[in-house]
A and B are shown apart, each in its own frame.
Chain A
């Protein structure tokens, strides 16, 4: 792919350079099976043997987990120089997965040592004693390390004649994860993962001896009553202690079929699956995944391996939420609204002609007195780089307007300036590797576990292994922050800018200022800071003041590609400011047009306001959920009012319900493209399934063709060629944002300031159709401080009504250590969408009241 091969000066989003090899430190020379090898000091014998191509059977060993020596399958014979320097044999076979290589050591594996071979056979026989003969029905059968290694390093037949130990068949650890305890060989990979990597211990070893088993913290199994083991953990939707957002990884690393996922259970066998590499479409982390499909149906997704991004882990959302792409409400043919106002299937030619005619009429109405003129584009935030680029070019070349905005969430003009100043064109400025090396990371408006799962895991890894300090400017310390051993810099919603400005000036924040002043410190700001006036300005000032590096971590997958491709009203591709004539000329030459619109366009909010006021003639909308917008009611009215609406969608939505022409586009499994991570790292992915569905850029190219404009974006290759030709921008950039934070609003009695963020698993459209996953979501609750609760008259667990003039949300209250007069709600929990119900967002003042009694009784 050209976008990867071209150098950093030519391509719009250049690929990351290959990392230089780590400098060689102290090394150790020893032999494995008579082959001398030199490895860095501290290397495990099993790893050194791997590098020599010598396979030692193992179950508990995992490169990303700490050595455990739990399964004893990797026994080898070891000779090591003693104190006198003479080579002496260790009296018993050693577990090579916990043994560090020492100078002069001689290791004999099962290939050269009969003793090691016999030891391994013995261990295998022991492991298989209680292992059931489930292989034909087990999901792991065919890709099972136990099955494979029992064939390669085990006895051909069993000598065991007694009755096997059995347990009741699978127990559900969560709605998604099932545990067959009799298949378990107690390697502890799953428990070590949840302790070391995710930090949410939801299963552990229980009991002793032959009864030893993995289990949940079920008091009936553990035999004790009282003390909840998960501390401040939330509950999931079923009311049990919340398991984990990363639990699916335990299924993948389980070396037997003990942990299986409810969604994939008995769906297929590994040998009839076709695997295609992919990139997860759920967040801006760009996790590598593997898509396993059979006969055109995706059956499961697994974590791909990419040390630079997601290592070998993905979130459960990336793993399990894929059924939306084949949901029953998928649009398969173009739809055109007929005279009766019904959408009816149409041919592509007809639909494109109708769409083109409508957009042309919107641009040049027949009636000169018509106020609803001009067309705008709202592409949504889930686009690939190629599609985002096509939307931008379509708006500017075919519609001749800068009214294009990829932000489908609360936004501000200050944010736009910040993106133009600091984000656009600065790809791979701060990367995951920088998070690994940083001595301190400050999170502002970003809840890492909920909004940036992989960054959370990388941060946690650094916190444990390199003593990274994590600080967070937020109204409350979430469970995720606690697991990062993070420090909370308490800020009521809307006062984040004040706290940021206080770092370095406020004596109480001196330690924070010192931490951020150390070399390599990073400030990560989330997209939610757009809702805080002066927030981005304060973040830029903080970075200049302390020398910390600043990075923007949005939630959605398409946010960064939208910025790079110029899906902002004042920004052209690569960070070229619309206001800069040189930038416009540069782009016009590449695009082969005479000139580009010079006036900055309107933002999402302004476009919708104009449409609502009857001042917009047409609207082209991409994958956009109205409920995600700051005020969904205004958006609905706007789309009802706009004279002509074209929707490019995968599935039927609120937008397609209102559209005049619906053009179906391909979901990520049915197209190839490039997602861009929050770092600005291009993540190209191939098409997994054969499909006739077209990617957005192809549809836009044809739509432009129908409008009589040639975009030249009909194929991925042509888009890449153009991106390469266009390249980055070295001219003047947009100036830094400088917005003064206003005084926080007064909070009358009985009211509170709303704090809110998205939880990873919620009522999002891309999670629909996956009920097993939905069951593992956190139970929606409202969090308030004890003081606020007392003032309102709500007890812990009692129901709390949060209302604005638009509506009321009633949720169980959980008393949390947080500032008074602040209430926290999940943004889009199932059945409790804040924006939809309250038309409000973080920073708004809402009224609190004790909720109805019946909910309290239920809680």
Chain B
């Protein structure tokens, strides 16, 4: 028997290229020890079986109401509690662990926690963070220890809020707030600088720079053994910056906690957008 794939010499046979109709693979020819090799490719692919739906067929009533059945969904939702958030008219707080914009924290006496180590920048998969470190000097002690972050930028056009930076931070200086309203019309306005990111001063904190609490090391700060500013620190700030608002009898925290320029512009943008969107 001749090879079945060969075209019929008479030219009357089925053309080889035409998709074969549903047919079983040819059974082995009788009297042959080895079955003919099933030909590869689509040509010889088994035909797909016909489609059968797994959904049970409707009853007659259902079939009758089917054209208006969709309204039932709407109707039933009218009696359920509403989930629509009236953003921005009503702003619902995010979940506590929501990854919002970053914040650079302070110790209880007002010194910055950031030591400028750049580990956040290293961890960042989006290359959104840029840090430069510098020396703390007796005249300019901004964080406990020897080093502080002199430049700190987060580019919110790049940030993907993955949180790897806050995991990398060795001093818990960088954390994420629940603040999510980050919008602005310019690229430059999306790059937050250190003064924009620094956490607001709280009661008992003194605006940095000022010396560390006397007799402590950076480890003591890290362990939380510093619970507030001391009279010596107050005296130092009084001597060097008599007008500092965070001094006792100063203008107060309200005056000290002025948002940074970029943050202020973004806050204004967001406030404007909120106003525009509010009904």
Contacts and interface: CB of A to CB of B under 8 A. Distances in A.
A141 B117 contact: yes
B121 A268 contact: no
12 contacts: A136-B170, A137-B117, A141-B117, A142-B122, A169-B146, A170-B146, A266-B116, A266-B133, A266-B134, A266-B147, A268-B118, A271-B118
A265 B135 contact: yes
B145 A137 contact: yes
B135 to A, nearest CB: 5
A169 B145 CA distance: 9
Interface in B119-162: 119, 121-122, 132-135, 145-147
A272 interface: yes
Contacts of A169: 146
Contacts of A136: 115, 117, 119, 170-171
Given A266-B135, A268-B133, A137 B119 contact: no
Contacts of B118: 268-269, 271-272
B122 A137 contact: no
B158 to A, nearest CB: 15
Given A136-B119, A266-B116, 4 more contacts: A137-B147, A169-B146, A267-B133, A272-B118
Contacts of A267: 132-134
Interface in B160-182: 170-171
A169 B219 CA distance: 14
A272 B121 contact: yes
B117 A269 contact: yes
B132 A271 contact: no
What bracket does the count of chain B residues touching chain A fall in?
Answer: 10 to 19
Contacts of B133: 137, 266-269
User: What 7 A-B pairs come out closest when comparing CB atoms?
Assistant: A136-B117, A137-B147, A266-B133, A136-B170, A269-B118, A266-B147, A137-B115
| Chain A binding surface, main DSSP class | loop
Contacts of A266: 116, 133-135, 146-147
Nearest to A141: B117
Nearest to A166: B217
A50 B121 CA distance: 34
A221 B118 CA distance: 35
A269 B122 CA distance: 9
A267 B132 CA distance: 7
A669 B91 CA distance: 54
A271 B122 CA distance: 7
A211 to B, nearest CB: 20
Contacts of A137: 115-117, 133, 145-147
Interface string A233-275: 0000000000000000000000000000000011111011000
Most chain B beta carbons < 10 A, residue from A266, A268, A271? A266
A531 to B, nearest CB: 45
Contacts of A142: 122
A267 to B, nearest CB: 7
A314 to B, nearest CB: 25
B124 to A, nearest CB: 11
A267 B145 CA distance: 16
Nearest to A169: B146
Interface string A160-181: 0000000001100000000000
Interface in A255-301: 265-269, 271-272
A268 B117 contact: no
B219 to A, nearest CB: 9
A823 to B, nearest CB: 42
Contacts of A272: 118, 121-122
Contacts of B132: 267-268
A170 B137 CA distance: 13
A352 to B, nearest CB: 37
A265 B133 CA distance: 9
Contacts of B171: 136
Nearest to A265: B135
B82 to A, nearest CB: 49
A272 B246 CA distance: 36
Nearest to B171: A136
A829 to B, nearest CB: 29
A271 B135 CA distance: 19
Contacts of B135: 265-266
A271 B131 CA distance: 12
Nearest to B143: A137
A137 B149 CA distance: 10
Interface in A312-334: none
A338 to B, nearest CB: 37
Interface in B92-113: none
A803 B146 CA distance: 48
A272 B122 CA distance: 8
A541 B279 CA distance: 101
Nearest to B119: A136
A2 to B, nearest CB: 38
